[in-house]
Structure 1
Amino acid sequence: MSTTPLVLLHAFPLDSRMWDGLTEPLARRARLITPDQRGLGTATLPDTGAAPSLDDAADDVLAQLDQLGIDRAVVGGCSMGGYLTMAVLRKAPERVSGLVFIDTKAGADTDEARANRLTTAERVMREGHQGWLAENMMSVLVGPTTHAERPEVLARVRELVDAQPPAGIAWALRAMADRPDSTATLRAADVPALVIMGAEDQLTPMAEATAMVDALPNATLATVQGAGHLSPLEDPESVAKTVLDWLP
């Protein structure tokens, strides 16, 4: 039985509970680590005074690997978790034995997207986020099939979004807005990689997945039918099987 360490990093604006549907099958084959990212879920938001940066969140991931005595791990994530995976790869490529990218992209934000994130962060800190943030994002977080057929997933997404601390949401938005383009980082990643995309993902077009596969030296592309941007929540069985079939 494989005991490959596998780190999975959650999407925004959720926490590690988004992986609950995958935990049992993945844990049979891997040493599964699903941390909350700083300021979200149960993770604290350090008051360092520094500008929000995914590089600091990457330090959190590496510190947890140190605490667990893990030298190298397969590291992956969904959406923002994918951005954080790329930050880990930039900081410590020698710690990464494989990559899993789910519904994410390598490029930096456009000027418009960056401005929208910063405006949303300001609103969250000014008036909170419960209700409106989940509602505003729901149309693009999950796919049409989920909207039509999986009301329990919609309820779970709303629950997870509403549960997050406003300060953590604002920090994550500002950190994502400041992230660099990671295409060159992917080109230098000489490890096996898996790119998973929900076929109905409206936030990350399939062209973004293709671009990542083209940049990565050793990548496999998989599509999850009937799922959108949060494919691990929308169809956890398919995503878990895809990861297990690929896992080194």
Structure 2
Amino acid sequence: MTELPLVLLHAFPLDARMWDPVRAPLAERFRVITPDQRGLGRSPLPETPETEAETEPSLADAARDVIALLDKLELDQVVLGGCSMGGYLAMSVLRQAPERVGGLILIDTKATADTPEAGQTRLDVANRAEAEGVKGWLADGNLPNLLADTASADVSTRVRELIDEQPPSGVAWAARAMRNRPDSVDLLRETDVPALVIVGERDAITPLDAANTMVEALPDATLAVLPEVGHLTPLEDPAGVVEAILGWLS
């Protein structure tokens, strides 16, 4: 597994630049691939044929994007990691193409589906993004939950910049797709690859209980709890994330 490329899938509502603080140190040891997910960062949102215009967004479609990328890069198998929404997407890839996943890294994410209340909140975000754009309000609403109050001003400023720069259509698509995702606890129970679960001790969105649920479901899991940080551990504690991944892969 230590020789496999490492594919890292980013959180919502950010893009692959969230991995900048960890990419270089990880790339000293492994090939690291950090794509933008459809509609976010520099990745366009595919045009939907009129016949599919009424179809609800699904992370299964984004998972097919990841699998197509692996095909394009001629990668038979990878260590697949994801933070938050990226973790949901990693589980969707695992559901579709388990043979492509040689190891799994789940960072500040959860395997359970949304509650009805959380699903409604995502729908409200999607509708407002389409109506108003995202600049200002989306960061204002998300930053208190994304970052612990111990996060530096530089990290907070960077996360706000990344959120403000996301295309409203991509934010809306991703919010609806996350709302529609299935529960993945049983999927993890059936997973026969080694897994690393990383969680910030002060993660307000997917707390330690959510991480423990995944660890208990996975047959071969290692848990790393990073102290004094919140939901975006690769930005808040990049050294801790790098140490956890390198230690596990070694």
Normalized against structure 1, the TM-score is what?
0.97
- Aligned residues between the structures: 244
Distance 1:21 1:129 in 2: 25
CA contact (8 A) 1:4 1:29 kept: no
Query: Residue by residue, what CA displacement relative to the aligned partner does 1:13-58 show, whole Å, maximum 9, x if unpaired?
Result: 0000000011111111111110000000000101123421100000
| Match of residue 79 from structure 2 | 74
Give the secondary-structure state (helix, strand or coil) at the position aligned to 2:103: strand
Kindly report which structure 2 residues correspond to 1:26-37, keeping only aligned pairs within 5 A, or say none: 26-37=26-37
Deviation at 1:220, TM superposition (A): 0.2
Distance 2:213 2:174 in 1: 24
Distance 1:108 1:21 in 2: 29
Give the secondary-structure state (helix, strand or coil) at the position aligned to 1:100: strand
Give the secondary-structure state (helix, strand or coil) at the position aligned to 1:144: coil
Give the secondary-structure state (helix, strand or coil) at the position aligned to 1:223: strand
CA contact (8 A) 2:11 2:82 kept: yes
| Match of residue 11 from structure 1 | 11
Distance 1:240 1:55 in 2: 28
Distance 1:164 1:15 in 2: 8
Kindly report which structure 2 residues correspond to 1:111-130, keeping only aligned pairs within 5 A, or say none: 111-130=116-135
Distance 2:209 2:203 in 1: 11
| Match of residue 241 from structure 1 | 243
| Match of residue 97 from structure 2 | 92
Does residue 1:230 correspond to 2:232, yes or no?
yes
Which of 153, 176, 179 aligns to 2:178? It is 176
CA contact (8 A) 2:200 2:207 kept: no
Look up the equivalent residue of 2:93 and give its one-letter code. V
Q: Which runs of 5+ in 2 are unaligned?
A: none
| Match of residue 41 from structure 2 | 41
| Match of residue 24 from structure 1 | 24
Structure 1 segments (4+ residues) deviating >6 Å: none
Q: Which runs of 5+ in 1 are unaligned?
A: none
RMSD: 0.8
Query: Residue by residue, what CA displacement relative to the aligned partner does 1:76-132 show, whole Å, maximum 9, x if unpaired?
Result: 100000000000000000110000000000000000000110011101100111001
